[in-house]
Amino acid sequence: MNQPYRLAGGGAIDRTRPLQFTFDDRVYDAFAGDTLASALLAHGVHLMGRSFKYHRPRGPIAAGAEEPNALVQIEHGGGRTDPNTRATAVEVFQGLYAHSQNRWPSLKSDVGVINDFVSPLIPAAFYYKTFMWPRSFWDKLYEPAIRRAAGLGEAPHQPDPDRYQHRHAHCDVLVVGAGPAGLAAALAAGRAGRRVLLIDENPTLGGTLAHTSTEALADWRDRLTEELVGLPDVTILTRTTVTGYYDHNYLLALERVSDHLPPASSVRQRLWRIRAGRVVLATGAIERPLVFVGNDRPGVMLASAARTYLERFAVLVGRRPLFFTNNDSAYAVASAMKAAGAEVVAVVDVRSDPKGPLVQAARDAGIIVRTNAVVVGTEGRHRIHQAALGTLDDQGVLTGHLGTPVGCDVLLMSGGWNPNVSLHSQGRGKLRYDDGLAAFVPDGGQQQSASAGACNGVMNTARAVAEGAAAGGGAVDAPAFEEPEEESLRPVQVVPSDRSGARAKAFVDFQNDVTAKDLGIAVREGMISIEHVKRFTTTGMATDQGKTSSVNAIAIVAEQLGTPIPAVGTTTYRPPYVPLTFGAAAGHSRGRLFDVVRRTPMHGWAAEHGAVFEDVGNWKRAWYFPRSGEDMHAAVQRECKAVREGCGLMDASTLGKIDVRGKDARAFLNRVYTNAWSKLEPGRCRYGLMLRDDGFVFDDGVTACLADDHFHMTTTTGGAPRVLAWLEDLSQTEWPDLEVYFTSVTEQWATMALSGPDARDLLQPLVEEDISAAALPHLAWMEATIAGVAGRIFRISFTGERAFEINVPAGYGRHVWQALVDAGEAHGLCLYGTETMHVLRAEKGYIIVGQETDGTVTPYDLGMDWIVSTKKGDFAGKRGLLRPDLQAEGRKQLVGLATLDPDVVLDEGAQITAEAEPRIPARMLGHVTSSYMSPNCGRSIALALLAGGRERIGSHLFVPQLDGPAVEVEVVAPVFFDPKGERLNG
Amino acid sequence: MLLIDCPHCGPRAEIEFHCGGQAHVVRPGVEVEDADWERYLFVRANPKGAHLERWVHLHGCGRWFNVVRHTVSDEIERVYPMGEAPPGGTAA
Ligand SMILES: [Zn+2]
Q: What is the pLDDT of residues A859-868, one digit of tens each?
A: 999 999 999 9
Q: In this structure, which amino acid lies at residue A672?
A: V
Average pLDDT over every residue of A66-89: 91
Residues 6+ apart with CB under 8 A from A594: none
What is the rounded end-to-end Cα distance, in angstroms, of chain A? 96
Same-fold call for A163-285+419-471 versus A289-415 = yes
Among B39, B63, B74, B80, pick the best mutation site for testing chain A contact (most A Cβ within 10 A).
Answer: B74
**Exposure b/e, A429-455, CB count within 10 A at least 16 = b:** bebebeeebbbbbbeebebebbbbbbb
CA distance A848 to A845: 9
According to CATH, the topology of domain A14-126 is Ubiquitin-like (UB roll) (3.10.20)
Mark out the alpha helices in A231-353 (DSSP H runs).
303-313, 329-339
Q: What is the DSSP string of A632-701?
A: HHHHHHHHHHHHHHS-EEEE-TTSEEEEEESTTHHHHHHHHBSS--TTPPTTBEEEEEEE-TTS-EEEEE
Residues of B in contact with A170 (CB under 8 A): none
Give Cβ neighbours of residue A499 (< 8 Å, ≥ 6 apart).
Answer: A293, A294, A376, A377
CB contact under 8 A, A884 and B34: yes
User: In this model, does residue A135 exceed pLDDT 80?
Assistant: no
CB of A653 within 8 A of CB of A750? yes
Distance from CA of B9 to the nearest CA of A (A): 17
Among candidates B41, B64, B76 on the partner chain, residue whose Cβ is nearest the Cβ of A729: B64
Task: Give domain A163-285+419-471's CATH number out of 3.40.50.2300, 3.40.50.300, 3.30.1490.20, 3.50.50.60.
Answer: 3.50.50.60
Q: What is the DSSP letter of B91?
A: -
**C-alpha dihedral over A693, A697, A702, A703, to 10 degrees?**
0
Q: Which of A650, A858, A842 is CA-nearest to residue A750?
A: A650
Chain segment A753-788, per-residue pLDDT in tens: 999 999 999 999 999 999 999 999 999 999 999 999
Domain ranges of chain A: 14-126, 163-285+419-471, 289-415, 492-576, 632-840, 889-984
The CA distances from residue A894 to A2, A244, A307, A743, A947, in Å, are 82, 51, 77, 34, 9
Pairing of strands A346-349, A321-325: parallel
- A149 pLDDT exceeds 60? no
CATH code for the domain defined by B3-26+35-81? 3.30.2270.10
Would you call A884 an interface residue with chain B, using a CB distance cutoff of 8 Å?
yes
Q: In Å, what is the CA distance from A441 to each residue of A176, A279, A305, A452?
A: 17, 17, 22, 11
Counted across chains A and B, CB pairs separated by less than 8 A come out at: 57
Minimum Cα–Cα distance from A873: chain B residue: B30
Residues of A in contact with B3 (CB under 8 A): 248-250, 275
| pLDDT at residue A1 greater than cutoff 70 | no
Could you name the CATH architecture of A632-840?
A: 2-Layer Sandwich (3.30)
Give the range among A101-105, A623-627, A869-873, A937-941 with minimum mean pLDDT: A101-105
- A734 to chain B: nearest residue by CA? B27
> What one-letter code names the amino acid at A492?
V
Alpha carbon of A205: minimum distance to chain B alpha carbons (Å): 29
Report whether pLDDT(A118) > 90. no
Does the pLDDT of residue A851 top 50, yes or no? yes
Please give the average per-residue pLDDT across B9-31, as a whole number.
96
pLDDT at A105: 78
Contact by Cβ (8 Å): A197, A482: no
Chain B nearest CA to A245, separation (Å): 10
Please tell me the distance from the alpha carbon of residue A947 to that of residue A944, in angstroms, as a whole number. Answer: 10
Span from the CA of B20 to the centroid of ligand 1 (angstroms): 15
B33–A contact, CB cutoff 8 A? no
* Strand partners of residue A286: A418
Q: Which amino acid is at A629?
A: G
State how far residue A674 is from chain B, nearest Cα, in angstroms.
Answer: 14
DSSP A808-853: EEGGGHHHHHHHHHHHHGGGT-EE--HHHHHHHHHHTT---TTTT-
* A303-344 confidence digits (pLDDT tens): 999 999 999 999 999 999 999 999 999 999 999 999 999 999
Mutate to test the interface with B, among A168, A279, A447, A733 (most CBs of B within 10 A): A733
Please tell me the predicted confidence (pLDDT) of residue B92: 44
Give the closest of A248, A694, A732 to B82, CB-based.
A732
Tell me the chain A residues in contact with residue B83 when contact means C-beta distances shorter than 8 Å: 736
> What is A289-415's CATH number?
3.50.50.60
Could you give the angle at the alpha carbon of A754 between the alpha carbons of A753 and A755, nearest 5°? 110
Distant-in-sequence, close-in-space partners of A245: CB < 8 Å, separation ≥ 6: A251, A279, A423, A424, A426, A427, A575
Question: Would you place residue A148 in the very low, low, confident or very high pLDDT band (cuts 50, 70, 90)?
Answer: low
A610-615 average pLDDT score: 97
Is residue A507 within 8 Å of A122, Cβ to Cβ? no
Q: Tell me: the pLDDT tens digits for A794-834?
A: 999 999 999 999 999 999 999 999 999 999 999 999 999 99
Cβ pair A548, A66 in contact under 8 A? yes
- Nearest Cα of chain A lies from the Cα of B6 at a distance, in angstroms, of 15
CA A349 to chain centroid:
45
Which helix (DSSP H) or strand (DSSP E) does residue B28 occupy?
none
Report yes or no: A104 and A82 within 8 Å, Cβ to Cβ.
no
Determine contact: A870 vs chain B, CB below 8 A.
no
Q: Are A173 and A459 in contact (CB under 8 A)?
A: no
Which residues of chain A are within 8 Å of residue B18 when distances are taken between CB atoms? 725
Give the pLDDT mean for A452-474.
Answer: 97
Which ranges constitute the DSSP H helices of A475-609?
Answer: 516-524, 530-537, 550-561, 565-568, 582-586, 603-608
Helix ranges (DSSP H) in chain B: 34-42
Angle between helices A329-339 and A357-364 (to 10 degrees): 30
- How far apart CA B49 and CA B74 sit, in angstroms, is 9
pLDDT confidence band for A964 (50 / 70 / 90): confident
Under 8 Å between Cβ of A39 and A94: no
**Complex ipTM value:** 0.96
- Please tell me the number of Cα atoms within 13 Å of A75 on its side-chain side: 16
A233 — pLDDT class (breaks 50, 70, 90):
very high
Can you give the pLDDT at residue A371?
97
Q: pLDDT tens digits, residue range A262-295? A: 887 689 999 999 999 999 999 999 999 999 999 9
Residue type at B83 in one-letter notation: G
Query: Degrees (nearest 5) of the Cα angle A292, A296, A298?
Result: 135
3-state secondary structure A924-944: CCEEEEEEEEECCCCEEEEEE
Q: For the whole model, what pTM was predicted?
A: 0.91
> Taking 80 as the threshold, does the pLDDT of residue A166 lie above it?
yes
**Axis crossing angle, helix A303-313 with helix A329-339, rounded to the nearest 10:** 40
Whether A692 has a pLDDT exceeding 60, the answer reads yes
Q: What does the mean pLDDT of chain A come to?
A: 94
Q: Cα(A323)–Cα(A337) distance, rounded to whole angstroms? A: 11
Pseudo-torsion of CA A526, A532, A534, A538, nearest 10°?
Answer: -80
Q: Does B6 touch chain A (CB under 8 A)?
A: no
Helix/strand/coil percentages in chain B, nearest 5: 15, 35, 50
Find the closest chain A residue to B62 by CA distance: A728
The pLDDT of residue A77 is: 78
Say yes or no: B63 contacts chain A, CB-CB below 8 A: yes
Name which of A251, A274, A732 to mutate to probe chain B: the one with the most chain B Cβ atoms within 10 A of its Cβ. A732
pLDDT in tens, B32-74: 999 999 999 999 999 999 999 999 999 999 999 999 999 999 9
pLDDT in tens, A338-368: 999 999 999 999 999 999 999 999 999 999 9
> How many CB atoms neighbour CB A931 within 10 A?
21
Q: Which pLDDT does position B91 carry in this prediction?
A: 47
Are residues A651 and A600 in contact, defined by beta-carbon separation less than 8 angstroms? Answer: yes
Beta pairing partners, A249: none
CB B64 to CB A728 under 8 A?
yes
Q: Residue A589: in which H helix or E strand, if any?
A: none
Q: By the CB < 8 Å criterion, does A275 face chain B?
A: yes
Q: What is the CATH number of domain A492-576?
A: 1.10.10.1100
Mean pLDDT of A482-499: 93
Spatial contact of A665 and A711, defined as CB atoms under 8 Å apart: yes
Question: B8 vs chain A: nearest CA distance in angstroms?
Answer: 14
Measure Cα distances from A202 to A65, A209, A232, A497 in Å. 10, 12, 22, 38
CA of A319 to the centre of ligand 1 (A): 66
Strands of the sheet containing B50-56, edge to edge, are B18-22, B50-56, B64-70, B76-81
Contact A420, A567 (CB under 8 A): no
Is the pLDDT reported for residue A499 higher than 80? Answer: yes
Give me the mean pLDDT over the A154-177 stretch: 94
- Looking at domain A889-984, its CATH class is mainly beta
3-class SS at A965? coil
Contact A344, A370 (CB under 8 A): no
Distance, CA of A197 to CA of A280 (rounded, Å) = 10
Chain A residue numbers touching B28 (CB-CB < 8 A): 879
Q: In this complex, is the C-beta atom of B83 within 8 Å of any C-beta atom belonging to chain A?
A: yes
Q: CA-CA distance, A794 to A807, in Å (whole number)?
A: 8
